[in-house]
Amino acid sequence: MQKKKLVEMYRMMLLIRRFEERAAQMYGMQKITGFCHLYIGQEAVGVGAIAALRPDDYFISAYRDHGHILAKGTDPKPVMAELFGKATGISKGKGGSMHLFDVEKGYMGGHGIVAGQIPLATGMGFAIKYKKEDKVVVCSFGEGAVHQGSFHESLNLAKLWKLPVIYLIENNRYGMGTPLERASAIWDLSQKAESYDMARATVDGMDVLKVYDVVAEAADRARKNGEPTLIEARTYRFRGHSMSDPVHSHYRTKEEVEEQKKKDPLIIIKDKLLKDKVLTPATVKELEAEIKKIVLESADFAENSPVPPLEAVYEDVYAP
């Protein structure tokens, strides 16, 4: 892989991490309200997957979506402003943390009902085939979503109709406070693809390069043959389910979280790039400084933006 691309992936993971650390602070200061789900710990999955796509490919995901929209290339300013509920937000302050969208960048949201976006991704795949376009869709969801009917209905349709969709399970081990072993009859989640005779893969979701490779391969298969793929990326969230859930409560121990943090995806890629001399300690420092500036600017932008005018409440209910 090109050096530039490697650095860009690291830089994006760093941006997402620092952006969300700032968002968490802002949440503490009540600048951000409602449900806010941090992606910290899972950055390698979204960044690796999106790096393997073309800019006009689609990415759609659930409510843990800050990292995805940033990775798809959206300016952090309107993203932070959306979290703040400001008029300059990417969804004009109508969506919030769970409903970020950037259609121009191919980021299709930001969906709050577990597994609700999976049929949407399948429909985008259908449209790509209908219009004979050369695009693919990546649909990200948590491991909690694989028990929903919409997941299974979608996989069947995608395989039946040969749709260019990559279903990406971001298995962070817990559906809110319920560990996988208390929710799933099987451990190896990509096995579910076998029911639909679909290609499948399991990947270490803490290693951005491995995620990149497996998604690139699936994208190739989707583009060339219209074959969908089910990928399970094994990852871990370092923070609580949402801001109201402590990092370690009754459902997981502090020891477990600390153990998992040894596999921090940011450290894994940074160490590799330092070892391979793609980065030097000096360039890492420069990147940190650049990212810090971007994040601070996004928070300032959000802070200084106006709230939506009350007239906006009736806008965009219906299209003209």
Interface residue list for other proteins (CB under 8 A): 58, 89-95, 99, 101-103, 108-113, 116, 118-128, 130-131, 149-150, 153-154, 156-157, 160, 315-320
Residue 199 Cβ, how far from other proteins at the closest point, in Å? 20
Q: What is the 3-state secondary structure (H, E, C) of 7-20?
A: HHHHHHHHHHHHHH
Residue 107 Cβ, how far from other proteins at the closest point, in Å? 10
Based on CB atoms, which residue is closest to other proteins, 187 or 318?
Answer: 318
Could you give the 3-state DSSP secondary structure of residue 199?
A: strand
Rg (CA), the chain: 19
Count other Cβ atoms within 10 Å, centred on residue 273.
20
CA-closest candidate to residue 136, choices 15, 206, 231: 231
Q: How many helices (H) and strands (E) does the chain have?
A: 11, 8
Residue 162 Cβ, how far from other proteins at the closest point, in Å? 12
Based on CB atoms, which residue is closest to other proteins, 138 or 208?
Answer: 138
Backbone angles phi, psi at 38, to 5 degrees: -90, 150
283 Cβ neighbours under 8 A, 6+ residues apart:
7
Residue 121 Cβ, how far from other proteins at the closest point, in Å? 6
Residue with tokens 């449209």: 127
Half-sphere exposure of residue 141: CA atoms within 13 angstroms, side-chain side? 26
Based on CB atoms, which residue is closest to other proteins, 195 or 280?
Answer: 195
Q: What's the DSSP call for residue 175?
A: E
* Angle between helices 117-130 and 149-161 in degrees, nearest 10: 10
Based on CB atoms, which residue is closest to other proteins, 76 or 93?
Answer: 93
Q: Which amino acid is at 69?
A: I
Residue 78 Cβ, how far from other proteins at the closest point, in Å? 10
Residue 203 Cβ, how far from other proteins at the closest point, in Å? 25
Based on CB atoms, which residue is closest to other proteins, 10 or 196?
Answer: 196
Based on CB atoms, which residue is closest to other proteins, 29 or 317?
Answer: 317
CA-closest candidate to residue 97, choices 170, 148, 24: 24
The angle at the Cα of 93, spanning 17 to 70, to the nearest 5 degrees, equals 25
Residue 259 Cβ, how far from other proteins at the closest point, in Å? 37
CA-closest candidate to residue 189, choices 159, 233, 157: 233
Which H helix or E strand runs over 22?
helix 3-28
Based on CB atoms, which residue is closest to other proteins, 289 or 312?
Answer: 312
Based on CB atoms, which residue is closest to other proteins, 8 or 316?
Answer: 316
Taking a C-beta distance cutoff of 8 angstroms, is the pair 138, 195 a contact? no
Residue 101 Cβ, how far from other proteins at the closest point, in Å? 4
